[in-house]
């Protein structure tokens, strides 16, 4: 549950759903969607081609890292044992290479089935290293779940501070890299885990966050004893590294020439890989993480796509409780160019004019061309029978979905119930759900008193749920209806400039209006899965855009029992330069039908239109 007292000021009487506004969601969505389209045009790896590429990546990565030394005796010993509640801590020291000591702690379950899975936990750049509370919590959590968990100090941290870390750029002139040194420490830590009688060497996992996530990625790519890996807040497109500061341990000479991080993660396939990210992470932006995940998933499809997954938490750079739970679940599942130069000049405008006196009177305009074209569209005869109308409605349905860019793949709602409150017999639920993998919809559901299923009125409003008045909601509940209000993408808590969203959506081939329709349909999906929901009624308005989205939703989804629309235009066969009509002129819509045709698709369900914007209907 969200501590609402610590959140932002509520944008309406309904309050906010998200801990803070997700204003970058739409930009992330557009860039990721465009990237997905472009990616589909790239030659895909076949299994044989990837196996060849895989070996190239592995060899190239090892060369870029500077290689590893030979294995030498670990000389490992336990220095201290602490008996705790449900587990014990064994403090360990070993030599990853002669004279180069690694300090670590092993968290051992008090009761376990021997041998147990072993988990390696490299830490990131936390101020206290492996002593940091978020590191300790996952070590103890794993031990109490029956895992043997080993957490080691990174080079230069805590007891290893004299070894140095951040200012060791001199390593590169000798052909060494700090990442390789850390990676070898981790490989030797796995050697130690596998040497223990209480560890099953066939069930080794690894997880870490931030710099520890990078270590998890590299060691899992290069050591196939790791059967399940969970890098957290780390894996992204390597191009993002070109625009941010990073530590010496994250620098690998010529890595870009070797492979993208997605191909390095591909080395882990077909072993289980879960990527965890924070949606608000500024260090490892979620957009770059999603782009990377798409490419990694393509590689896993060559083997077993079930062994790859992602999890997003609405947080910043972290390894919080929700992320740790996802990690536990995952381990449980799988372990239990050319330039030219020329001179330029500028001439007087008049030298470039073809018609000094301007265009002739009566010349065509864009508006007249529009009118002329609509007049040539094949006229449609009125249906003469019910069967003829059903066929016509089916044609319209297919045509409208084509105009809207098609239906996205239905995925899980991933709904998160964040807050429940009760006041004066009304239960208020604040939740968010996903319309698409990158799209979060903040929602509020108001349920009046009573245990029986309620009719629900869904509000699709121009400004999102904040535009719903208290009086309107109360009027609905007095009639015994529940009220559902949500922020369609780019509005309310995910507000994004409309003048940017509209052309981006257009360029994707999915008009913004169609995205609003899909968001509404996904809310209907969610409501129809609830046992306390009877019929669904739709109210849409506040602008022609919202009204049109409501009209299309009701026409395409017959789960809407009735619809009320405000500010709906009567026709789109008349050109308008008014900005509020811009998004309504969907590509090729009038080839299929006009407002009246779409409205007729709702029959025989009730349709109420108020504030019709002209007389042509």
Q: What is the pLDDT of residues 441-455, one digit of tens each?
A: 999 999 998 778 999
Window from 390-404, 467-481, 506-520, 602-616 with minimum mean pLDDT = 602-616
What's the mean pLDDT in 535-562?
Answer: 96
Helices then strands, counting H and E runs in the chain, come out as 16, 17
Judge contact between 271 and 226, C-beta under 8 A: yes
Give the model's pLDDT for residue 273. Answer: 98
Q: Confidence class of residue 43 from pLDDT cuts 50, 70 and 90?
A: low
Token pair listed for 30: 């557009």
How far lies 22's CA from each of 139, 316, 521, in Å?
32, 12, 21
Residues 317 and 418 in one domain: no
Same structural domain, 412 and 298 = no
Q: How far apart are CA 366 and CA 490, in angstroms?
A: 30
Residue 527 pLDDT > 70, yes or no?
yes
Is 259 a domain residue? Answer: yes
How many domains does the structure of the chain reveal? 2
Selected residue with higher pLDDT from 395 and 254: 395
3-state secondary structure of 169: helix
| Secondary structure class of 226 (helix, strand, coil) | strand
pLDDT above 70 for 553: yes
The verdict on residue 13 lying in a domain is no
Domain for residue 22, yes or no? no
* Residue 171 and residue 79 share a domain: yes
Closest CA to 114 of 201, 228, 225, 226: 201
616 falls in which pLDDT band (50, 70, 90)? very low
Whether 530 maps to a domain, the answer reads: yes
Average confidence (pLDDT) over 151-164:
84
* Domain-located, residue 397: no
Burial of 181 by CB count in 10 Å (0-12 exposed, 13-18 middle, 19+ buried)? buried
Q: Taking all residues of the chain, what is their mean pLDDT, rounded to a whole number?
A: 86
Residue pLDDT, tens place only, 124-152: 888 888 888 889 899 999 999 999 999 99
> What CATH number does residue 555 fall under?
3.40.50.1820
Task: Please state, in angstroms and rounded to a whole number, the distance separating the CA atoms of residues 219 and 195.
Answer: 18
Query: Does residue 327 sit in the same domain as residue 411?
Result: no
Structural element, H or E, at residue 64: helix 47-65
Asked if 315 and 426 sit in the same domain, the reply is no
Give, rounded to a whole angstrom, the gap between the first and last alpha carbons of the chain: 48
Choose the most confident range, by mean pLDDT, from 228-237, 349-358, 498-507, 550-559: 550-559
Mean pLDDT computed over 427-449:
95
87 φ, ψ (degrees, to nearest 5): -165, 170
How many other CB atoms sit within 10 Å of the CB of residue 258? Answer: 21
Both 302 and 412 in one domain: the answer is no
- Domain-terminating residue out of 314, 334, 354: 334
Neighbouring residues of 530: CB distance < 8 A, sequence distance ≥ 6: none
The rounded distance, in Å, linking the Cα atoms of 548 and 613 is 12
- Both 327 and 456 in a single domain? no
pLDDT at 365: 59
Of the three residues 277, 311, 334, the one that is the final residue of a domain is 334
One domain, residues 102 and 206: yes
Does residue 204 belong to any structural domain of this protein?
yes
Measure the CA–CA gap between 234 and 255, rounded to whole angstroms.
Answer: 16
Instruction: Tell me how far apart the alpha carbons of residues 613 and 617 are, in angstroms, rounded to a whole number.
Output: 10
pLDDT at position 158 is 83
Alpha carbons 211 and 156: distance in angstroms, whole number: 14
Beta-carbon contacts of residue 344 (< 8 Å; ≥ 6 apart):
none
> Averaged over 553-559, what is the pLDDT?
97
User: Domain boundary residue among 276, 302, 334?
Assistant: 334
**Is the same domain home to 330 and 417?**
no
**Are both 291 and 415 inside the same structural domain?**
no
Q: What share of the chain is helix, strand, coil (3-state, %, to 5)?
A: 40, 20, 40
Average pLDDT over residues 44-69: 88
Residue 74 has pLDDT above 80, yes or no: yes
* The pLDDT of residue 250 is above 80: no
Residue 40 is predicted with a pLDDT of: 56
Domain assignment present for 364: no
Sheet (strand 454-461) strand order: 416-423, 426-436, 439-447, 482-486, 454-461, 533-541, 560-566, 607-610
Range of the domain at 448: 405-610
Which tens digit of pLDDT belongs to each residue from 185-197?
Answer: 999 999 999 999 9
Nearest to 566 by CA among 447, 471, 472, 470: 472
pLDDT above 90 (res 378): no
pLDDT score for 360: 64
Torsion of CA 386, 391, 392, 397, to 10 degrees: 130
Mapping DSSP onto H, E and C, the string for 433-454 reads EEEECCEEEEEEEEECCCCCCE
Select, from the ranges 111-115, 174-178, 439-443, 573-577, the one with the highest average predicted confidence (pLDDT): 439-443
Residue 58 pLDDT class (50, 70, 90 cuts): very high
Q: At 424, is the pLDDT very low, low, confident or very high (cuts 50, 70, 90)?
A: confident
Is residue 480 left, alpha or beta, with left meaning phi > 0 and alpha meaning psi from -120 to 50?
Answer: left
Together in a domain, 319 and 466: no
Q: C-alpha distances in angstroms, 431 versus 154, 413, 418, 435, 579?
A: 40, 11, 5, 13, 33
Please tell me whether residues 315 and 420 are part of one structural domain.
no
pLDDT band for 175, please (50, 70, 90 cuts): confident
Average pLDDT over residues 240-246: 56
CA–CA separation, 148 and 142 (whole Å): 7
Does the structure show a pLDDT above 50 at 346? no
Structure token digits, residue 3: 């501590």
Residue 384 lies in a domain: no
């Amino acid at each position: 549950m969200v501590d609402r007292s610590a959140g932002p000021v509520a944008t309406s009487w309904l309050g906010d759903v998200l801990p803070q506004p997700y204003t970058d969601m739409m930009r992330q969505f557009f860039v990721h969607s465009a990237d997905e389209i472009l990616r589909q045009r790239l030659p895909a790896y076949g299994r044989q081609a990837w196996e060849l590429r895989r070996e190239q990546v592995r060899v190239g990565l090892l060369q870029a890292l500077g290689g590893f030394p030979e294995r030498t005796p670990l000389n490992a010993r336990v220095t201290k044992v602490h008996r705790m509640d449900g587990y014990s801590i064994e403090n360990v020291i070993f030599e990853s290479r002669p004279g180069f000591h690694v300090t670590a702690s092993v968290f051992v379950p008090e009761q376990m089935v021997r041998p147990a899975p072993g988990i390696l936990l490299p830490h990131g750049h936390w101020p206290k290293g492996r002593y940091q509370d978020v590191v300790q919590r996952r070590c103890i959590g794993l031990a109490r779940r029956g895992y043997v968990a080993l957490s080691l100090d990174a080079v230069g941290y805590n007891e290893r501070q004299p070894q140095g870390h951040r200012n060791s750029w001199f390593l590169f002139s000798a052909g060494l890299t700090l990442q390789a040194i850390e990676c070898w420490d981790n490989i030797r830590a796995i050697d130690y885990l596998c040497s223990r009688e209480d560890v099953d060497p066939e069930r080794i996992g690894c997880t870490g966050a931030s710099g520890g996530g990078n270590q998890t990625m590299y060691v899992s790519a290069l050591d196939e004893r790791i059967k399940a890996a969970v890098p957290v807040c780390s894996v992204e497109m390597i191009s993002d590294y070109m625009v941010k500061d990073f530590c010496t341990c994250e620098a690998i000479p010529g890595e870009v020439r070797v492979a993208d991080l997605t191909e390095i993660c591909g080395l882990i396939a077909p072993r289980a890989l879960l990527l965890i990210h924070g949606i608000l992470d500024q260090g490892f932006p979620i957009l770059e993480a999603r782009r990377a995940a798409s490419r990694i998933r393509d590689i896993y499809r060559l083997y077993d796509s079930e062994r790859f997954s992602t999890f997003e938490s609405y947080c910043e750079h972290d390894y919080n409780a929700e992320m740790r739970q996802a990690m536990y679940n995952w381990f449980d599942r799988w372990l239990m160019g050319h330039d030219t130069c020329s001179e330029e000049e500028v001439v007087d405008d008049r030298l470039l004019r073809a018609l000094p006196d301007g265009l002739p009177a009566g010349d065509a305009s864009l508006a007249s061309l529009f009118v002329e074209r609509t007049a040539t569209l094949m006229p449609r005869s009125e249906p003469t029978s019910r069967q003829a109308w059903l066929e016509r409605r089916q044609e319209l349905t297919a045509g409208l979905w084509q105009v809207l860019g098609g239906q996205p793949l239905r995925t899980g709602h991933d709904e998160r119930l964040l807050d429940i409150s009760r006041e004066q017999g009304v239960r208020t639920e604040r939740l968010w759900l996903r319309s698409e993998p990158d799209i979060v919809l903040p929602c509020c559901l108001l349920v009046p008193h009573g245990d029986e299923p309620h009719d629900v009125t869904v509000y699709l409003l121009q400004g999102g749920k904040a535009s719903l008045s208290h009086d309107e909601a109360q009027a609905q509940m007095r009639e015994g209806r529940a009220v559902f209000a949500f922020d369609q993408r780019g509005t309310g808590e995910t507000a994004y400039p409309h003048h940017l969203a509209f052309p981006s959506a257009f360029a994707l081939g999915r008009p913004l209006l169609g995205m609003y329709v899909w968001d509404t349909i996904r809310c209907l999906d969610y409501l129809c899965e609830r046992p306390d929901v009877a019929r669904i009624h739709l109210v849409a308005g506040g602008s022609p855009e919202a009204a049109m989205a409501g009209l299309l939703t009701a026409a395409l989804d017959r789960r809407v029992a009735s619809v009320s629309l405000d500010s709906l235009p009567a026709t789109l066969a008349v050109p308008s330069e008014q900005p509020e009509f811009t998004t309504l002129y969907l590509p090729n819509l009038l080839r299929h039908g006009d407002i009246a045709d779409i409205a007729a698709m709702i029959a025989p369900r009730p349709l109420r239109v108020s504030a019709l914007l002209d007389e042509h209907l």
